[in-house]
Amino acid sequence: MTAVDKYERLECMGLWRNSAAAQLREVVVALRDATLILSDPRSGMALTHWSLPSIERLNTGEVPALFTAGRLDDGTPAEVLELDDADMIAAIDTVHVAIIRRRPHPGRLRGVMVVSVLTLVACLGVLWLPGAMIRHTASVLPESTRVQIGKMALQDMVRLTGSPCDADLGRRALGTLALHLSNEGVAEIDVVRDGVAVTRGLPGGLVLVNRKLVETVEDPEVMAGYVLAESVRSQTEDPVIAVLRHAGLLATLKLLTTGSLAPEAVALYAESLLKQPQSRPDDERLLERFAQAKLSSTAYARAVDPSGETTLALIEADPFKGKSPTAILDDNDWVGLQDICAG
């Protein structure tokens, strides 16, 4: 992101609270290309990472500055980060201004857009319009709105999946894994107890994983492979489009013109999503993404098909010949992740 080029690899100390009831704890705050990474200053392990487009400042102009990366249903901040480092505050504010400038300005364009939509309805008819409007809306949404829609979809899915598992060591390991795969479109990984067969992708780079995938496999590369494959599938079959099809044309039009989607538009989406079939992404594209992620494809291929018959291309053309260049997770992180639902 060009807005933060001059702040590349900036780091400082900060205070972080991961819930309203939690106490502030000291963390190392590191600014990277697309994320803000919060790490334990003693162990150096990543505690969480925030997508830059989702960060919101809570007290503009005041120091120490307060930031959050999301809000709960009642509007209160889910997490809070307190910073007094002037360079880091300036960097985050610069990103925020850049995102605002890149967003569409519905107030100025609303009249023209409404006339255009009515003209399209008259000329092309209602059979063509819904699909085209949904595809167009999905194509122009900023990443921050995609993240928000993904969180709304997750809130609806909790009815069927239960709340995401949240044991501390497991959450830390998920953050490490998501960071490793962040360049491949993975922003957040959540482990759920029910509902999801193996993995499901939601808007904003959110990937849901069934707890059985974590608890029954011996190699973290298997889970990483499934998450990576789900990310590839989400980039081929945009999950925002599925949400907007469920929400309907009026809700989509409101999203296009105002930038917001009503929570009730996502109600009962979980049932619709979980009924949708999932196809395995193209082998050639998978291999390309495994190579980019510096991840061996063999463990994933063997988990999908132990015989190797249907995944032979992923085994024979493995960019790393069965052994990743570096461990995706260390042993302690993997053990912590396998116990994430134990609490």
Long-range contact set of residues 218-223: C-beta below 8 Å, sequence gap at least 24: 219/299, 220/177, 220/327, 220/328, 220/329, 220/333, 220/334, 220/337, 221/295, 221/296, 221/299, 221/300, 221/324, 221/328, 222/299, 222/300, 222/303, 223/177, 223/337
| 165 lies in the same domain as 73 | no
| pLDDT at residue 74 in the model | 76
Nearest to 144 by CA among 79, 91, 69: 69
| 246 lies in the same domain as 163 | yes
| pLDDT at residue 180 in the model | 94
Structural domain span for residue 81: 2-102
The answer as to whether 60 is a domain residue is yes
Last residue of a domain, one of 49, 76, 102: 102
If one compares 115 and 311, the residue with the highest pLDDT of the two is 311
The answer as to whether 150 is a domain residue is yes
The partner residues of 38 in beta bridges, in order of sequence, read 29, 48
If one compares 105 and 18, the residue with the highest pLDDT of the two is 18
H or E element: which one contains 39? strand 35-39
CA gap 47, 52 in Å, rounded: 16
Q: Which amino acid is at 162?
A: G
The answer as to whether 95 is a domain residue is yes
pLDDT band at 111 (very low <50, low <70, confident <90, very high): low
| 94 lies in the same domain as 44 | yes
CA gap 79, 327 in Å, rounded: 30
| 281 lies in the same domain as 160 | yes
| 93 lies in the same domain as 154 | no
Strands 188-192 and 35-39: unpaired
CA gap 194, 163 in Å, rounded: 10
Please report, for the domain that includes residue 96, its CATH number.
Answer: 2.30.29.30
* Interval 174-196: pLDDT, tens: 999 999 999 999 999 999 999 99
Q: Which amino acid is at 288?
A: E
| pLDDT at residue 328 in the model | 93
Tokens for 266, please give them: 């996502």
Helix 331-338 and helix 220-236, axial crossing angle in degrees, nearest 10: 70
* Interval 55-104: pLDDT, tens: 888 898 898 999 998 777 777 888 899 999 988 888 888 877 776 665 55
| 199 lies in the same domain as 69 | no
| 94 lies in the same domain as 150 | no
CA gap 18, 24 in Å, rounded: 8
Question: Does 109 have pLDDT greater than 70?
Answer: no
Alpha helices, H only, the chain: 86-102, 106-124, 129-140, 143-161, 168-180, 211-216, 220-236, 239-247, 249-258, 269-275, 283-292, 298-304, 312-316, 331-338
CA gap 85, 227 in Å, rounded: 35
* pTM across the whole model: 0.67
| pLDDT at residue 322 in the model | 93
| pLDDT at residue 314 in the model | 97
| pLDDT at residue 334 in the model | 96
| 98 lies in the same domain as 157 | no
Min mean pLDDT across 44-53, 117-126, 138-147, 294-303 is at 117-126
| 34 lies in the same domain as 97 | yes
Alpha-carbon distances of 247 from 35, 147, 159, 270, rounded to whole Å: 30, 16, 18, 12
| 83 lies in the same domain as 157 | no
Structurally, the chain folds into a number of domains equal to 2
Across the chain, mean pLDDT equals 87
| pLDDT at residue 130 in the model | 73
* Interval 124-154: pLDDT, tens: 545 456 788 899 999 999 999 999 999 999 9
